[in-house]
C-alpha cells in the first residue's frame, strides 16, 4: 500500500509520480466545495494564504450506536495529495466560475501542490474513537482548506462501511464465511467498489464485485441467479450431456440420465420418502447445465420455485451424480423465506443423503444464505439456531442502512502557532484547539485502556508513570492510568518538505 510505503519513508514529499493516482479518476482537485475556492481567494487577497494552519480530521460519535469506528480511506487521501495539481482546463473552469477574482489568484492556484503540507494519521484499519484526530493536516491555510472536502469524502464513507463490516463480522462469528454482494444496491458505482474494498478491510472474506476484485485483489465469488434457473424450459435443452470424471479416467456420456437416476433414488430413499414429489424440471435442467459447466464448483440457488420440495432434492441429485464422477459439490444458496428453518431442514436432508448413500461429508455441504441480511437478522438467526455456513450480505452492508453517514469533520485548531476554536451552544460541537499528539495507553494484559491527546510540546506519557486522563468536556470523567505500553497513534504519512 502506498500509505504504508509513505509511513516507512519510502517516498519523499512532492515526489509526485511515485504514488499512484486515486483509484477513482473522478477524484481531482475540483472534487471539492466551491467555498474552498472562494475562501482560498479571500485568503490570497488578504495575503493570508501562506499562514501555517493545522486542521484536525475527526468524528464526534461512533456510528450504529456503537463504541468503536474502524478508520478507512487514508491510502486514497495520500494518493490524492501526492498527485494534487490543477490542470489548465480546471483552472479555466474556475476562472469562469469565479469571474470577479483576479488573474494572480489563478496563477497561484496553477502553481500549488502539496509539497508544503504534512499529514499525520492513525494507520488505516485501526479501531478509533470520537474526538481523537484520525488525521492532522498542517500546511498553508489556502491549500489545506482545498483538501477538506475531498479528504472527508474519501474518509467518511470508507470508515463507515469498514466499521459496518467489522460489526457484521463480530455478530456472525469468526468461522462464518462473509460475502459482500452489494454492488447493485450501492450508492452508485464507486459506492459499490468502495463497499467491496472496505468490507474486505473490515473482515469480509470475498465480494461478488469483479471490478473490485481486480482493483484490490479481493477474492471474488458467485454462481448463478434466479434468471438462470428460470431461463431453462426443461432437460431437452441440454444438448451436450457428456461429463469427464474429475481425474479424467472415464467419461459419462449421459450425465442428464445419471442425474435423473439419482433423483429417483432420492425419492425412493426410506428416510426421505414423501418429503417431496415431482421437482421442477426447468430447475433441474438449470442445475444440471450449471454442473456441466462448473463440475468443480457446483453451487445452486435453490429457492426459485420451492426450496424443500424442489431446489434441495434437485441439488442433491446433481451433487450425487457429480460425486459419481469424482467431483464434490460446493453447496446451495437460500435467498428467501425463513432462513433458520430452511437451513436446518436442508442440513437434515444433507445428513440423510450422507447416511442413505454413504457419501462421506455430504452432511457438511455448504449452506449460503442471502436476502436482506444485516446485523440484526444474523443475530436473530444465531438466537433461533441455524445451519448457515456463509452469509451473502448486500444492501444493509454497503449502504450502511442503519446509519447512512459518518460525520467526520475537518476543523482549524491552530494558525501561525495560535490556537483556534469553534464555539457552539452544543458542547459536543466545540472543537478542541491546538496541534496535538495522541497516544494509546495499554494495561498489564496488553489490552488498550484509553486514548489520550496532549499538546504538541507537552511531555509524552511514560510507561509505568501514573497519568491523569481527563475527558475534554466532562469534568467528572477522569481516571488515573499507569500504562504498561504507550503507542503514539499518529504517524507521518506525508512529510512535506521538512
Residues within window 366-425 making contact with its own copies, judged by CB under 8 A: 395, 399-401, 404-408, 410-412, 415, 418, 420-425
Q: For residues 242 and 380, which CB has a smaller minimum distance to its own copies in the complex? A: 242
Which residue lies nearer to its own copies by CB, 189 or 361? 189
CB nearer to its own copies: pick between 13 and 165: 165
Site membership for its own copies, residue 48 (CB under 8 A): yes
CB of 285 to its own copies, least distance (A): 9
Cβ 249 to its own copies shortest distance, Å: 18
Record the cell numbers describing residue 397, joined without a space: 452492508
Stretch that binds its own copies, among 151-159, 166-174, 379-387, 460-468 (CB under 8 A): 151-159
C-alpha distances in angstroms, 359 versus 300, 316, 389, 475? 19, 11, 20, 67
Q: Which of residues 434-493 bind its own copies (CB under 8 A)?
A: none
Count of residues in the chain: 498
Nearest C-alpha neighbor of 74 from the set 125, 117, 37: 125
| Closer by beta carbon to its own copies, 265 or else 309 | 309
In the complex, least distance from residue 98 CB atom to its own copies, rounded to whole angstroms: 9
Q: Which stretch binds its own copies (CB under 8 A): 38-46, 115-123, 346-354, 468-476?
A: 38-46
d(CA 401, CA 373): 11
Task: For residue 210, state whether it binds its own copies (rule: CB under 8 A).
Answer: yes
Q: Which is nearer to its own copies, 121 or 441 (CB)?
A: 121
> What gap in Å lies between CA 177 and CA 391, rounded to an integer?
6
* Contact yes or no for 438/453 (Cβ under 8 A): yes
Binding mask 289-318 for its own copies (x = CB under 8 A): xx-xxx-xx------xxx------------
Residues 249-278 binding its own copies (CB under 8 A) are: none
Residue 11 CB, nearest approach to its own copies (Å)? 23
- How many residues bind its own copies, per CB under 8 A? 116
d(CA 285, CA 318): 10
Find all residues with CB under 8 Å of 170, minimum gap 6, and list them. none
Is 28 a binding residue for its own copies by CB under 8 A? The answer is yes
**What is the distance between the alpha carbons of residues 384 and 378, in angstroms, rounded to a whole number?**
10
Is residue 368 within a helix (H) or strand (E), and if so which, with residue range?
strand 366-369
What residues have CB less than 8 Å from 10, skipping those under 6 apart? Answer: none
The binder of its own copies chosen from 79, 131, 224, 437 (CB under 8 A): 224
For the CB of residue 380, give the shortest distance to its own copies in the complex, in Å: 18
Q: Scanning residues 342 to 361, which ones bind its own copies (CB under 8 A)? A: none
Q: Taking the complex as a whole, how short is the minimal distance between the CB of residue 471 and its own copies, in angstroms?
A: 22
In the complex with its own copies, the residue whose CB is nearer, 197 or 347, is 197
Binding positions for its own copies, 184-203, rule CB under 8 A: 184-194
Half-sphere CA count of 234, side-chain side, radius 13 A: 1
Judged by CB under 8 A, does residue 156 bind its own copies?
Answer: yes
Query: What angle do the packed helices 312-324 and 255-268 form, to 10 degrees?
Result: 120
Rounded to whole angstroms, the Cα distance separating 170 from 66 reads 12
Sites for its own copies among residues 83-122 (CB under 8 A): 90, 93-94, 97, 100-101
CB of 214 to its own copies, least distance (A): 5
Collapsing DSSP to helix, strand or coil, 353 comes out as helix
- Name the pairing type of β-strands 436-442 and 118-121: unpaired
From the CB of 478, what's the least distance to its own copies, in Å?
Answer: 28
Q: Cell 433423483, residue?
A: 263
C-beta closer to its own copies: residue 290 or 442: 290
Per CB under 8 A, 429 contacts its own copies = yes
DSSP codes, 258-327: HHHHHHHHHHH-TTTTTS--SPPHHHHHHHHHHHHH-TTS-EEE--SS-IIIIIHHHHHHHHHHHHHTT-
* Contact string 273-292 vs its own copies (x = CB under 8 A): ----------------xx-x
Nearer to its own copies, 419 or 443 (CB): 419
- Specify the DSSP element, H or E, that contains 442: strand 436-442
Is the distance from CB of 123 to CB of 134 less than 8 angstroms? no
Amino acid at each position: 500500500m502506498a500509505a504504508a510505503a509513505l509511513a516507512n519513508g519510502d517516498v519523499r514529499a512532492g515526489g509526485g509520480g511515485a504514488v499512484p493516482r486515486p483509484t477513482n479518476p473522478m477524484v481531482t482537485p475540483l472534487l471539492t466545495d466551491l467555498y474552498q475556492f472562494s475562501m482560498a481567494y479571500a485568503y490570497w487577497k488578504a495575503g493570508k494564504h501562506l499562514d501555517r494552519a493545522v486542521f484536525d480530521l475527526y468524528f464526534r460519535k461512533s456510528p450504529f450506536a456503537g463504541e468503536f469506528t474502524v478508520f478507512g480511506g487514508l491510502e486514497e487521501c495520500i494518493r490524492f495529495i501526492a498527485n494534487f495539481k490543477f490542470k489548465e482546463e480546471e483552472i479555466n473552469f474556475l476562472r469562469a466560475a469565479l469571474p470577479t477574482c483576479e488573474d494572480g489568484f489563478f496563477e497561484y492556484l496553477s502553481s500549488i501542490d502539496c509539497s508544503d503540507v504534512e499529514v499525520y494519521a492513525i494507520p488505516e484499519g485501526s479501531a478509533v474513537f470520537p474526538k481523537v484526530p484520525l488525521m492532522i493536516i498542517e500546511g498553508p491555510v489556502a491549500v489545506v482548506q482545498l483538501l477538506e472536502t475531498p479528504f472527508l469524502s474519501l474518509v467518511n464513507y470508507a470508515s463507515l462501511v469498514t466499521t459496518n463490516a467489522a460489526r457484521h463480522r463480530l455478530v456472525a462469528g469468526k468461522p462464518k464465511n462473509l460475502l459482500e454482494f452489494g454492488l447493485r444496491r450501492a450508492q452508485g458505482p464507486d459506492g459499490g467498489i468502495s463497499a467491496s474494498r472496505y468490507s474486505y478491510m473490515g473482515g469480509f472474506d470475498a465480494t461478488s464485485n469483479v471490478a473490485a476484485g481486480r482493483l484490490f485483489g479481493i477474492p471474488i465469488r458467485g454462481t448463478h441467479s434466479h434468471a438462470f434457473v428460470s431461463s431453462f424450459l426443461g432437460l431437452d435443452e441440454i444438448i451436450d450431456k457428456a461429463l469427464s470424471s474429475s481425474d479424467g479416467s472415464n467419461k459419462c456420456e449421459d450425465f442428464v440420465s445419471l442425474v435423473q437416476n439419482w433423483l429417483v433414488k432420492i425419492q425412493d430413499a426410506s428416510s426421505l420418502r414423501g418429503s417431496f414429489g415431482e421437482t421442477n424440471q426447468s430447475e433441474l435442467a438449470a442445475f444440471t447445465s450449471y454442473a456441466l459447466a462448473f463440475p468443480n464448483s457446483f453451487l445452486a440457488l435453490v429457492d426459485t420455485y420451492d426450496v424443500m420440495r424442489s431446489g434441495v432434492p434437485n441439488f442433491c441429485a446433481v451433487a450425487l451424480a457429480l460425486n459419481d464422477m469424482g467431483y464434490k459439490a460446493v453447496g446451495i444458496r437460500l435467498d428467501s423465506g425463513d432462513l433458520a428453518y430452511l437451513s436446518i431442514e436442508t442440513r437434515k436432508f444433507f445428513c440423510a443423503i450422507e447416511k442413505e448413500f454413504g457419501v462421506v461429508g455430504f452432511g457438511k455441504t455448504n449452506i449460503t444464505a442471502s436476502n436482506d441480511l444485516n446485523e440484526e437478522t444474523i443475530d436473530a438467526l444465531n438466537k433461533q439456531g441455524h445451519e448457515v455456513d456463509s452469509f451473502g450480505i448486500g444492501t444493509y452492508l454497503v449502504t450502511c442502512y442503519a446509519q447512512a453517514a459518518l460525520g467526520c469533520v475537518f476543523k482549524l485548531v491552530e494558525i501561525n502557532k495560535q490556537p483556534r476554536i469553534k464555539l457552539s451552544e452544543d458542547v459536543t460541537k466545540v472543537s478542541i484547539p491546538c496541534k496535538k499528539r495522541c497516544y494509546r495507553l495499554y494495561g498489564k494484559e496488553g489490552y488498550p485502556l484509553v486514548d489520550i491527546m496532549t499538546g504538541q510540546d507537552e511531555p509524552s506519557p511514560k510507561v509505568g508513570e501514573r497519568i491523569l486522563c481527563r475527558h475534554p468536556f466532562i469534568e467528572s470523567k477522569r481516571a488515573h492510568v499507569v500504562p504498561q505500553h504507550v503507542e503514539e497513534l499518529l504517524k507521518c504519512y506525508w512529510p512535506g518538505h521538512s
